[in-house]
Chains A and B, each alone.
Chain A
Amino acid sequence: MGIGLALISVLGLILFAYVGTTIGLNALFGVVFPYAAFIIFVIGFIYRVVKWGKSPVPFRIPTTAGQHYSSLWFKQNKIDNPSTAWGVALRMFFEIFTFRSLFRNTKAEILQGRLYVGSSKWLWLGALAFHYSFLIIFIRHLRFFTPETPWVISIAESLDSFLQVHILGSPLLYITNISIAVALLYLLGRRILDPKIKYISLPSDYFPLFLILGIISTGVLMRYFFKVDVTAIKELTLGLVYFKPVVPEGVGSLFYIHLFLVSILFAYFPFSKLMHMGGVFLSPTRNLANNNRMERHINPWDYPVKHRHYEEYEDEFREKMKKAGIPVEKE
């Protein structure tokens, strides 16, 4: 059910952009939607992060996979269970750049009537391939949005195409075009083929996969099969960046579908699971040093408790206590 809803949504979006640009609403899809999506993305992203920042984390949560700082004869695992800021920085570095917690992914399976639990690296590998491919593709695309390309972009571009393979309709084949497609199909496939994962998958799990698959397909189609006028497209994208929007002639629906799906991705981003891009930096189990026993952490929602000393109590009831024969401290 979930998968059908997500697929229909993405197909609907594609159809919407196709019909819209066929009847000549190019300015809407080329200018209005990208600007709107960008604004929603930036404001929504900041809103979500600030909202997370407002949630108190009273104590350090050591959900760790290593020995914590203890007596001298126990060797501390300084990356997996850090007690210093440097250790945390290293743990965050490995988490963000190598997906360390996904590396510990395990899989349970019943084989011949017995339950087996084992390490499973495929998800980690697929996620790593997908995210890095996407990053390189994202950096590559900046060539359309900058008048002068910084060297980082040119290097990403030339490394991505260094094989100089031209089996498809372009002199250069981008490696990331292949790797992201393979990785995405794996990530989608595991949700469809594994009944356990299928059972817990929601439309919001499938939707980003189909959306990104749509973006990649339209991009690949434009590069290798149904060529587009790249110079005209750069006029449009550069116009957006210079706040001098132009809608050039001779750019077909395929490009506008691509741009519209990207706009949807940006606008959808702050409201969805894709926010793990910002969230990974704010994971309390990853970004807090395990120093519960070294430093005092005060619960932020502790209010000043009204309390009364025994002296005050005795002052109030001294006479009554005496009458009842209860011993008092002060006469």
Chain B
Amino acid sequence: MYDGGKIIFGLIIFIALVTLPFTLGIGKEYIKANPKIDTPEIMKLPEAERKCVESKDFMRKEHMKMLIEWRDAVVRDGKTLYVNSQGKTFNMSLQNTCMQCHSNKSKFCDECHNYVKVKPYCWDCHLEPKENIKKEAGL
């Protein structure tokens, strides 16, 4: 090979770059997201009534879109009521509706968001729920 040293040096960089996903994981634990829905507010409800605003599948895929539409509806259009696919009415509010049941932000929201590395900007404006503050103070 001509200029073999330089070419092999380049190829080593290439291999180091393309195998980064494999090498970055070395020594790091293989984790899975495990969001918890066992808050006292949810457990208080009778089993049949433990339902979110929409179905579990819908919430999993569309909650981000729903929340941003709620924000626009409340803040920009002044509409505060949401009627779901079952005809039930909810107050469009992250803190007063969603977080009422899902009070465990660190075990519910953050579990998946940290896992897939998403940083929602909800908390740029909203106050984070108290459970986190308590925890930090306790540490």
In the docked arrangement, what's the CA distance between A170 and B25, Å? 29
Chain B neighbourhood of A66, CB < 8 A: none
A53 contacts which chain B residues (CB < 8 A)? Answer: 1-4, 7
Does A60 have its Cβ within 8 Å of any Cβ on chain B? Answer: no
Which residues from B are CB-within-8-Å of A142?
A: 20-21
Contact B115 A45 (CB under 8 A): no
Q: List B contacts of A281 (CB < 8 A).
A: 10
Chain A residues, CB < 8 A from B30: 147, 238, 242, 244
Q: Does B51 contact A (CB under 8 A)?
A: no
Interface size on B, as a range, is 35 or more
14 A-B residue pairs with Cβ-Cβ distance under 8 Å, sorted by A, are A42-B18, A49-B10, A50-B7, A143-B116, A144-B116, A146-B21, A164-B121, A166-B65, A166-B68, A171-B65, A171-B67, A229-B61, A230-B118, A281-B10
Q: Tell yes or no: B88 within 8 A of A by CB.
A: no
Residues of A within 8 A of B29 (CB): 147
- Whether A234 lies near B115 (C-beta < 8 A) is yes
Is B131's CB within 8 Å of the partner chain A? no
Q: Decide if B62 touches A147 in the complex (CB within 8 Å).
A: no
**Is there an interface contact between A227 and B2, defined as CB atoms closer than 8 Å?**
no
- Whether a CB of chain B sits under 8 angstroms from the CB of A278 is yes
Residue of B nearest to A146 (CB): B24
Task: Decide yes or no whether B74 CB sits under 8 A from chain A.
Answer: no
Residue of A nearest to B35 (CB): A231
Nearest 7 A-B pairs (CB), nearest first? A227-B61, A145-B21, A53-B1, A143-B117, A171-B68, A53-B7, A149-B117
Decide if A158 is an interface residue (CB 8 Å cutoff).
Answer: yes
Task: Judge whether A325 is part of the interface by a CB distance below 8 angstroms.
Answer: no
Beyond A49-B7, A153-B117, A154-B117, whether A228 also contacts B61 by CB under 8 A is yes
- B115 pairs with A231, CB closer than 8 A: yes
Tell me the bound Cα distance from A147 to B7 in angstroms. Answer: 32
- List residues of chain A with CB within 8 A of the CB of B7: 49-50, 53, 282
A-contact bits for B101-124, CB 8 A (1 contact / 0 none)? 000000000001001111111000
Q: Chain A binding site: helix, strand, loop or mixed by DSSP?
A: helix
- Give the interface centre of A38, A53, A154, A158 by most chain B CB atoms within 10 Å: A53
**A238 surroundings in chain B (CB, below 8 A):** 25, 30
Q: Complex formed: what's the CA distance from A278 to B11 in Å?
A: 9
Task: Please tell me if the beta carbons of B62 and A57 are within 8 angstroms of each other in the complex.
Answer: no
Question: Which residues of A have CB within 8 Å of B1?
Answer: 50, 53-54
Q: Which of B33, B67, B115, B117 has the most CB of A within 10 A?
A: B117
* Residue pair A242, B25 in contact (C-beta under 8 Å): yes
Whether the pair B64, A171 counts as a contact (CB closer than 8 A) is yes
Contacts of A143 in B (CB 8 A): 116-117
Q: Which residues of B line the A interface, CB within 8 A?
A: 1-4, 7, 10-11, 14-15, 18, 20-22, 24-25, 28-33, 57, 60-62, 64-65, 67-68, 112, 115-121
Q: Contacts of B22 on A, CB cut-off 8 Å? A: 241
What is the chain B residue whose CB lies nearest that of A228? B61
Expressed in whole angstroms, the minimum distance between the Cβ of B99 and any Cβ of chain A is: 17
Q: Which of A57, A148, A158 contacts B2 (CB 8 A)?
A: A57
Residues of chain B within 8 A (CB-CB) of A148 are 24, 28
Bound CA span A242–B57, Å: 28
Task: Tell whether A4 is near chain B: CB-to-CB under 8 Å.
Answer: no
Bound complex: CA A231 to CA B34 (Å): 10
Are A230 and B24 in contact, with the CB atoms below 8 A? no
- Compute how far the CA of A55 lies from the CA of B4 in the bound complex, rounded to whole angstroms: 11
Which residue on B lies nearest to A158, using beta carbons?
B119
In the complex, chain B residues whose CB is within 8 Å of the CB of A41: 18
For the A-B complex with A145-B21, A154-B117, A300-B2 known, give 20 more contacts whose Cβ atoms are closer than 8 Å.
A38-B18, A42-B15, A46-B15, A49-B7, A50-B1, A53-B1, A53-B2, A142-B21, A146-B21, A147-B29, A149-B117, A153-B117, A154-B119, A158-B119, A164-B121, A171-B68, A231-B33, A234-B115, A241-B22, A282-B7
* Cβ–Cβ < 8 Å partners of A230 in chain B: 112, 116, 118
A195 part of interface (Cβ distance < 8 Å): no
CA distance A230 to B35 in the complex (A): 14
Q: Is the CB of B2 within 8 A of A49?
A: no
